[in-house]
Structure 1
Amino acid sequence: MGIGTVALAWLLQQDQLLARPKNIPIKQPHFDLTPKAAQFAPQAKAMISLFQHGGPAHMDLTDPKPELTKYSGTDFKGDIQYSFVQQASKKLLGSPWKFQKHGECGTELSELLPHLAEIVDDICVVRSMHTGANGHEVSIRYFHGGIPGVLGRPNLGSWLVYGLGSESQNLPAYMVLTDPGGLPVDGVTNWSNGFMPSLFQGTVLRPREPRILNLDAPA
């Protein structure tokens, strides 16, 4: 069997032109990236998720904490579960940046975001998300996979591709652009397909050559 025969069989399978044998007891699952019909009429054609690992704290950007600012510098009177004992402190630290309401919606933003303040009516700021975990790995898995501390779960990008498919069958549907400084905590787990087929795993686009690994045949 030559490579041409294999290619022809794949093309016929994609167009559902292959002959089907009778009396197949169990239907084999089929996975592809063809566009799927959404439950509701979509308004977006693509999703760009910026996971800024190690970025500024939310209370310095979009989530003002007036009570924290009020008691900044004083000792916290409640019980604390310390993650790093050698760096432990009961001192409260409020944001040093000023917040102000912007736009017709009146969303408060930090003075660090003057340009974002100009389009605040066009964005959605979610302040209700939280986790009871202190560790980076557990919280990041919660963020991407929806379940804290559990490995082997598909992340958000994998679910989107699985549910909606892709407009192109020749290019990766789920791309990952990594930080030139290195991978985030938990590495490739952040774009893992989990228990899904590898078709739904994120394809890493590296900041240096080769941009995508394993495209060239071995020498």
Structure 2
Amino acid sequence: MNPADEFNLLQTRRAFLGRGAMGLGSIAMGALLNASEQTASATGALPSLPHIAPKAKRVIYLFQSGGPSQIDLFDYKPGLAKHFGEEVPTSVYPAERKTTMTSGQKSFPVAPSVFKFAQHGQSGTWLSENLPHLSKVVDDICVIKSMHTEAINHDPAATLCQTGSVIAGRPSMGAWVNYGLGSDNANLPAFVALTSNGSAKAGQPLYDRLWGAGFLPGRFQGVKFRSQGDPILDLYNPDGVTRPQRRRMLDSIQKLNQQSADHFNDPAIATRIAQYELAYRMQMSVPELIDFKSESKAVLDLYGPEATQVGKYAYNCLLARRLAERGVRFIQLYHRGWDAHNNAQKQVPAQCRDTDQPTAALLSDLKQRGMLDDTLVVWGGEFGRTIYCQGKLTDKVYGRDHHPSCFTYWMAGGGIRGGMTYGETDDYSVNVVENPVHVHDLQATILRQLGIDHERLTYRYQGRDFRLTDVHGKIVKQIVAS
């Protein structure tokens, strides 16, 4: 938020009296709250939360940036083989729904998946041969085949998935959860973001606003762990600087910052004070967090050969479990490289080789530790891929463009019914024909599992009460365990 705008918001009779009653020592925290915000509890949670009994304590969101191909992974359409190379009917896929990248094509031939599918688990869930590890834990997941969105390009689609709006600047889901529920561990951030790149393709850019706080106070934003070297810069004190010396230095800085906060009433200063204190505590907690020496060989083997390679997807999955163990509320993984505009036969298997084993390992590891029941794991990207071929179609090569009208997510743990498939698409995997789930519906359901009524978690900004789901969102009750 613009500091001047928030300063004006804070100049109310209620805010003035509140600051006067609490004393100067509370100004730093008071400046973080706008006039309509309730005072948080000792853990940082709003006193009105949870609204309902939570099924999950934390969320691990495995965001697959670029748009995984539902037709090559989850949405089995054996009948399309006989239509290879035929034009997709315009009645099914009209021209106005195609992106500018393929709208100029003269032909839109059907490109059936070349990958074999089989049913797995007691649930008989259909999965592609690219997901051999996930097939072993398929009875723990709920596959949602009927996801849909309005956004057709990467940045607005990813922004919608992460913030509830295609317009940049809104708070991310993790920031909303942090704002509402606070932290379970004062020595670690409540919201952590991790990034990794696919080995086959660099992928789309990931902007800090995807895990930002938007117009919420800055202290609710996600803390991004770096994908190389130390996860946090300046994690260790310089040579010759002891921890008591660091404490004295921070105390002196805090006094100066407090003087500025008393004078200017700038929320950014209060955020900076809180960040300095968290950073000091993290200097003790993070080194232990990232030290995998305590992990058994069996656990490391479970996640695969890249489990100890900083910045790899497998490493981030294992780190996510360790963060979850230590009370981090919202853990956001971003894995890039799913944007298969050409040669999907090569790119999709490559992405799965990077992600399938670690993803399944995370579910197994959480379950073995008794944590899956109260940890909600979410997997999916910003949209799906087209059934028609982008570019020239051969029996060996096809590409797929962006497709927002239907795509697949899955969820596991945290009170979600495992071993089920929800929703259905048409014969061409173009349109949802049964139980549609919008991005806002998914967000409402995630919040519900955390004990949050998505319509009641709001923040007043520029004269309006905002929420993650805007004016939309319905809980997908059929996938929630009783």
TM-score range, shorter chain: 0.7 to 0.9
Q: Is structure 2 residue 54 aligned with structure 1 residue 34? A: no
Q: Is structure 2 residue 123 aligned with structure 1 residue 113? A: no
Kindly indicate whether the alpha-carbon contact (under 8 Å) linking 1:60 and 1:110 is maintained by their aligned counterparts in 2: yes
How far residue 62 of structure 1 moved from its aligned partner, in angstroms, is 1.8
Matched to 1:155, the amino acid is: S
Q: Is structure 2 residue 167 aligned with structure 1 residue 154? A: no
Q: Is structure 2 residue 64 aligned with structure 1 residue 52? A: yes
Q: Please name the residue that 1:12 is paired with.
A: none
> 1:21-170 to 2 correspondence within 5 Å?
29=37, 30=39, 34-35=44-45, 37-54=49-66, 56-78=68-90, 79-80=94-95, 81-85=98-102, 88=105, 89-147=107-165, 149-170=166-187
Matches of 1:209 and 1:177, distance apart in 2:
13
Kindly indicate whether the alpha-carbon contact (under 8 Å) linking 1:102 and 1:108 is maintained by their aligned counterparts in 2: yes
Matched to 2:44, the amino acid is: T
Matches of 1:145 and 1:27, distance apart in 2:
23
Q: Please name the residue that 1:15 is paired with.
A: none
Cα deviations across residues 103-139 of structure 1 (Å, max 9, x unaligned)?
Answer: 2222211111122112111111111211233211121
Change (3 A) 1:31 1:48: same
TM-score normalised according to structure 1 size: 0.74
Please state whether the residue corresponding to 2:193 is helix, strand or coil: strand
How far residue 190 of structure 1 moved from its aligned partner, in angstroms, is 1.5
How far residue 97 of structure 1 moved from its aligned partner, in angstroms, is 1.0
Structure 1: 5+ residue runs without aligned partners? Answer: 1-17
How far residue 145 of structure 1 moved from its aligned partner, in angstroms, is 1.7
How far residue 205 of structure 1 moved from its aligned partner, in angstroms, is 0.3
Change (3 A) 1:117 1:55: same
The structure with the largest helix share of the pair is 2
Q: Please name the residue that 2:231 is paired with.
A: 211
Matched to 2:157, the amino acid is: S
How far residue 168 of structure 1 moved from its aligned partner, in angstroms, is 1.4
Change (3 A) 1:171 1:82: closer
State the identity as a percent: 39
How far residue 207 of structure 1 moved from its aligned partner, in angstroms, is 1.4
Change (3 A) 1:94 1:180: closer
Matched to 1:124, the amino acid is: C
Kindly indicate whether the alpha-carbon contact (under 8 Å) linking 2:115 and 2:128 is maintained by their aligned counterparts in 1: yes
Matches of 2:70 and 2:214, distance apart in 1:
29
Change (3 A) 1:204 1:61: same
Q: Please name the residue that 2:211 is paired with.
A: 191
Matched to 1:34, the amino acid is: G
TM-score normalised according to structure 2 size: 0.36
Matches of 1:57 and 1:184, distance apart in 2:
16
The structure with the largest strand share of the pair is 2
